[in-house]
Chain A
Amino acid sequence: MQDLGRLGFSEDQATLLDVATSFCSAKSPISKVRRLIEDETGHDPDIWREIVELGWLGIAIPEEYGGAGLQLAEVVPVMEQMGRYLLAGPFLSATLAAQAILAGATEDQKRTLLPKLAEGQIATLALCEASDDWDLVNIACTAQSTASGTLRLSGEKRLVCDAGSATTLIASVMHEGRPALVLVDRSSLGPKALRRETIIDETRRAWSVTLDGVEVATDAMLDPARAQAALRHIHLSANLLQSAEMCGGTQAVIDYTLDYLKTRVQFGQLIGAYQALKHPTVDAYVGYEQARSHLYSAAHCFGEQGVGEIATRMAKAQADAAMSFAADRAIQFHGGFGFTYDCDAQLYRRRAIWHASQFGDAAYHKAKLADLLL
């Protein structure tokens, strides 16, 4: 019988879960979420500063590079509560960028960059392309060495989150026929290089980025020998943290639906008394609890060879299934109001679609699991 992972929960996780719950609920009421949807930047810089001061950007950065020296497991409860309260901002982007550097950069690059990221400088990943492939090593953008000793980039990246507020982009490219990661200063990009995209999850910001004509110094390339491993690490880290954000969102959309089921009356009775609504809501709730168990198992086992990958893919597959179902039913169970922009159900349904589209949906991860397990 194969080891599929197991649960564990640290003191630090418990503390962070507590703090993050209070912080996110206080800082991100739904009125604020709605206001930030209309905002060009999409997040509140003051809240970002508070998050930096709480040390959350450095949770999973080793102490020698200015972080707290914990693991991604400790980032999970924070991400979960951000997802629950739809707290907007570049936290996920910045955390994943730091992971990319940890897994893929040279020692010098780590010493220069990680302390800045721990202090809140925003970096983000530029991985997606027009090919629509979840396989991160399938890359069309290129970096070519020039006679003057620089790297000339070409190609277009898509769905680059928070590129508008980031200082640094980490782009995947092909270099001499192999995948590589390069650091790109956003200030080196021309005014036309960035286009804000219209995306399904309006609480996020994503951009298309044209790399054509951009030149960077040779030492902007992360360690080429570790690029593949870094991309793999990014893929799994992203899925772990997305699962966390989705679990939080699933909990919230179920609570939101329950409020309606307990107040809306039709045919002389509260609609929550109808089993056609009650029973699927229970199924959504059970799916959520299962997803959350997978999430904390994946967090706990993340660093373990083999098991970490299995647990993480299961977590994402279950989170996708749970959130999609819960949010889909949330729209339906709100009736005509559910069809409106004012009803919050759409915020969660849109977010579930976003998360499924990034780094693999349930079907994709199950196909990977089939190869790992069967």
Chain B
Amino acid sequence: MTEFDPQDLKAYAEAADAWFKEHVNPDPGFLLPLTFMEVGTDQQFHFLRDWQNKVFEAGYLGAAWPKAYGGGGMHPAFQAEATKAMRRNGSPIFLNAIGLNWTGPLLLDMGTEAQRTKYIKGILSAEDIWCQGFSEPENGSDLGNAQTKAVRAGEHYVVNGSKIWTTLGKYARYMILLARTRTDTSRKYDGLTFFLAPMKIEGVETRPIKKLTGEHGFTQTFFRDAQIPADEIVGVEGGGWKVAMRTLEFERGARGGQAGGYVAVGSNAWDVLELAKKMNRGGKPALEDASVRARMVDFMIEIQSNALCAQRTGFGPLNTDRPTGLALSSKLMNTEFARRINEFAISLTGPSGAYYVGDKNAVDGGWWTRSYLNSFSATIGGGTSQIQRNIVGEHVLGLPKS
């Protein structure tokens, strides 16, 4: 990592702040998604894609990725400043999460030179939207048992089967695909191969699935004799499980190297505090209720816990006993917190908790109920909280497998 001049960093941060202040459009006139998993209409899609492209062109996304592939070639501290500036100025989310946060870092880590050259720039510019084909209807948590088949035929693999819960499936040009190239291995994991699969080809079809919020956002994806070029493999044939596990480390934030920006906005304890001040309990602000105060403080302690644990990953001497502990538990900590605080916020809204997005009487436009329902996307997607507890129990604490 090259050193940098703090003056340069300061100038860059100020420029970023000014740029986002000028360019963020706080109200495009329609509902924006809270997370990359909620992109459900073409209007939302085009708005967010254009936005990501604009931010990339301005130099505030992928600032720390290598120049050779389209990044900014700067020290990670620069991207961190740009990301802070986005948050400060209320930037919308970046939709190409699967490209920016997992495929990109994965290719920079394990991809070939040709793959990096071909894919990295399109990930940053949002020209190429990515999706992830891991889960199947019959195999979700048990990802290692994936049964979608890929059979080698000359210069191609022929794919048959179905993936499900494919976020951005409707819009994606490429998919990171985990498919079974062999069925006769003694360990189920050894028959898997990791592909960079084109989506806009013959034999690939997506069908939208409506989410519990009533919106769209993911699809079921069907493969019928779809042909993937044989060189679009990450790692080696039969080595897909290792690559998939590495991908999940990027996805869960257990490993760094992402492009920057953020792919979800959530509720924080201070927003809920404002809500508790304005909602009513027995003729008084809800915040004066003793039980509300007690829970509010619990959430503040917890949000601070999570922030401090994230900071602590950078302090080596404070992580000697279980070096991977904080990284592997952060998804569990943060996603369960988000679900519970949104649930609490709904209770603060009293009878109006019954309104949903679209009704003029809904508190804060229905933000809290929508946030609560959407929070399950993170406690289920990317490996459920139960699976996270298995992972921490087994890989951090060394407990026997369930």
Interface residues of A (CB under 8 A from B): 1-2, 4-7, 9, 13-14, 17-18, 251, 254, 258, 261-262, 269-270, 272-275, 278-279, 281-283, 285-286, 289-290, 292-294, 296-297, 314, 317-318, 363, 366-367, 369-370, 373-374
Contact = CB atoms under 8 A, between A and B. Distances in A.
Contacts of B400: 262, 269-270, 272-273
A262 B308 contact: no
A289 B305 CA distance: 9
Contacts of B354: none
Given A6-B308, A370-B296, A286 B329 contact: yes
B311 interface: yes
B301 A369 contact: yes
A18 B309 CA distance: 21
A297 B305 CA distance: 10
Given A18-B317, A318-B301, 18 more contacts: A9-B318, A14-B317, A258-B397, A262-B398, A273-B401, A273-B402, A274-B402, A275-B402, A279-B386, A281-B393, A281-B397, A289-B325, A290-B302, A290-B333, A294-B304, A296-B318, A297-B304, A370-B294
B396 interface: yes
Main secondary structure of the interface of A (DSSP, over half): helix
A258 B308 CA distance: 25
A221 to B, nearest CB: 38
Contact of B399 (A2, A258, A289, A290): A258
A285 B394 CA distance: 12
A290 B72 CA distance: 35
Contacts of B398: 258, 262
Contacts of A290: 302, 305-306, 308-309, 333
B396 to A, nearest CB: 7
A374 B277 CA distance: 9
Residue among B297, B302, B307, B396 with most chain A CB within 10 A: B297
Interface in B359-391: 386, 389-390
B264 interface: no
A293 B329 CA distance: 13
B312 A293 contact: yes
10 contacts: A7-B308, A9-B318, A273-B401, A275-B386, A290-B302, A296-B308, A314-B304, A318-B305, A370-B293, A374-B273
Contact of B317 (A17, A251, A258, A278): A17
Interface residues of B, number: 41
Given A269-B400, A294-B304, A314-B304, A282 B393 contact: yes
Contact of A6 (B311, B389, B396): B311
Q: Across chains A and B, which 3 residue pairs bring their CB atoms closest together, nearest first?
A: A293-B308, A290-B305, A272-B399
A275 to B, nearest CB: 6
Contact of B311 (A283, A285, A293, A318): A293
Interface in B321-347: 321, 325-326, 329, 332-333
Contacts of B396: 285
Contact of B321 (A251, A278, A286, A367): A251
A286 B332 contact: yes
Contacts of B401: 273
Interface in B63-95: none
Nearest to B394: A278
B14 interface: no
Contact of A1 (B270, B296, B302, B386): B270
Residue among B301, B315, B325, B392 with most chain A CB within 10 A: B301
Contacts of B321: 251
A7 B312 contact: yes
B53 to A, nearest CB: 31
B351 to A, nearest CB: 23
A309 to B, nearest CB: 14
Nearest to A270: B400
